[in-house]
Chain A
Amino acid sequence: MAPEQPIERPKGETYPGAEYSKQKSRRGYHSVKAIDPHDGKEWELLLSEDMLKYTASKGHGAALELAHTVRWALLNPRQIYRGVRDDENDVDDDGWLCYVATPPHAYDFKRGVQVPAWPNEVFAVYVTDERVIYRWMWLKCDENDLHKPVDHESRFRAQVF
């Protein structure tokens, strides 16, 4: 899979995992496959067992969202952004990544069943610089680009994939 956008690397800077292993494991964490923004191949991210249990406690819809939608988004991202900006445009979480995708399906939390993806929304998965997945959510899309989240230009430092 080729990157959709040229990779933007600020001069003299590397981004997380510049010296890294594709595999990632840690006690109490699950390894989850994702697209590596460095080369478009696969690498592994981490998801804590505690997060897994918390998600399961929310029922079948939430569990299916993690089992399917989150993993789908990590392997089929439309964009990967790096660095979350704050309101004053200071770079905040510099090395953190956000995977954005438009999955074909969503899950109804109450009924725990698959439904068509929510119109005019994208799915975002956030990852720390330690390559730990820490949240995911549906966001409204940019009105001029259905595959990008609203405010994407001001929210992230760079699109790296």
Chain B
Amino acid sequence: MTNKIIDLEDEFAKSLLGMAAETPAPPFARYDQDGDCIEVLWANEGHFAQRLDKWLTIYIGRETDKVVGVHVKGIKRFWGEILKSCPGIVIEVEDERIPLGRLFTAKMLTLPDRKLARIYKEVRDKSEEHPFSVPAPVSCG
């Protein structure tokens, strides 16, 4: 089977590489509307992904072996599950957005697994160092 070759001189690649930042400045964070997910990267370090539960994937830095980022999927359902575990929980919303740290704090309250809760706490603490917010699901607050 012959592998298909990618042309790094085509319009897509040229446009993308032409936009690439010369001096990237982390943290990087983005909410993706198509995937209803967020990615936060605290360091410009190569990494691999490790899935912790159905919501949270952490990025482990190849040089430091530390958590350098996270990916959270299904933000709307993520909140729905917190509500199921903690009915009546209220979270403070700012301009229809929730600071990510608060979402992780709420999630920590629902976790019986202390090891997993510790990791959520670690990413919560990092999230509070560099505030980033996500669109608030309707049921919040």
Instruction: Please give, as numbers and ranges, the residues of chain A lying within 8 Å of B74 by CB-CB distance.
Output: 92-93
- Answer yes or no: A68 CB below 8 A from chain B CBs: yes
Is the CB–CB distance between A63 and B34 below 8 Å? Answer: no
Question: Considering only CB atoms, which chain A residue lies closest to B54 in the complex?
Answer: A86
Instruction: Please give, as numbers and ranges, the residues of chain B lying within 8 Å of A72 by CB-CB distance.
Output: 3-4, 6
**Other-chain residue from B19, B35, B41, B54 in contact with A53 (beta carbon distance below 8 A):** B19
Number of interface residues of A (CB under 8 A): 51
Question: Considering only CB atoms, which chain A residue lies closest to B62 in the complex?
Answer: A118
Interface string of B1-19 (1 = CB under 8 A from A): 1011010100011011101
Complex alpha-carbon distance, A17 and B102, angstroms: 38
Q: How many interface contacts (CB-CB < 8 Å) are there between A and B?
A: 118
- Answer yes or no: A151 CB below 8 A from chain B CBs: yes
Q: Which of B20-28, B82-90, B92-100, B130-138 contacts A (4 or more CB under 8 A)?
A: B20-28
Q: Is the interface of A mostly helix, strand, loop or mixed?
A: mixed
- Answer yes or no: A11 CB below 8 A from chain B CBs: no
A126-B35, A130-B34, A132-B35 given as contacts; is B20 within 8 A of A139 (CB)? no
Instruction: Please give, as numbers and ranges, the residues of chain B lying within 8 Å of A56 by CB-CB distance.
Output: 16, 19-21
A86-B54, A135-B35 given as contacts; is B6 within 8 A of A68 (CB)? yes
- Answer yes or no: B118 CB below 8 A from chain A CBs: no
Interface string of B115-139 (1 = CB under 8 A from A): 0000000000000000000000000
Complex alpha-carbon distance, A9 and B31, angstroms: 32
Instruction: Please give, as numbers and ranges, the residues of chain B lying within 8 Å of A134 by CB-CB distance.
Output: 32, 34-35, 37
Is the CB–CB distance between B16 and A52 below 8 Å? Answer: yes
Instruction: Please give, as numbers and ranges, the residues of chain A lying within 8 Å of B24 by CB-CB distance.
Output: 57-59, 62
Is the CB–CB distance between A58 and B48 below 8 Å? Answer: no
Complex alpha-carbon distance, A112 and B20, angstroms: 10
Is the CB–CB distance between B35 and A128 below 8 Å? Answer: yes
CB contacts under 8 Å to B, within A126-146, are: 126, 128, 130, 132, 134-135, 137-140
Instruction: Please give, as numbers and ranges, the residues of chain A lying within 8 Å of B23 by CB-CB distance.
Output: 59
A60-B17, A67-B8 given as contacts; is B46 within 8 A of A128 (CB)? no
Complex alpha-carbon distance, A60 and B21, angstroms: 7
Residues of B within 8 A of A (CB): 1, 3-4, 6, 8, 12-13, 15-17, 19-24, 26, 28, 30, 32, 34-35, 37, 39, 41, 44-51, 53-54, 57, 59, 62, 71, 74
Given pairs A52-B15, A58-B28, A62-B20, 6 additional interface contacts (CB within 8 A): A60-B17, A67-B16, A67-B17, A109-B47, A137-B59, A140-B48
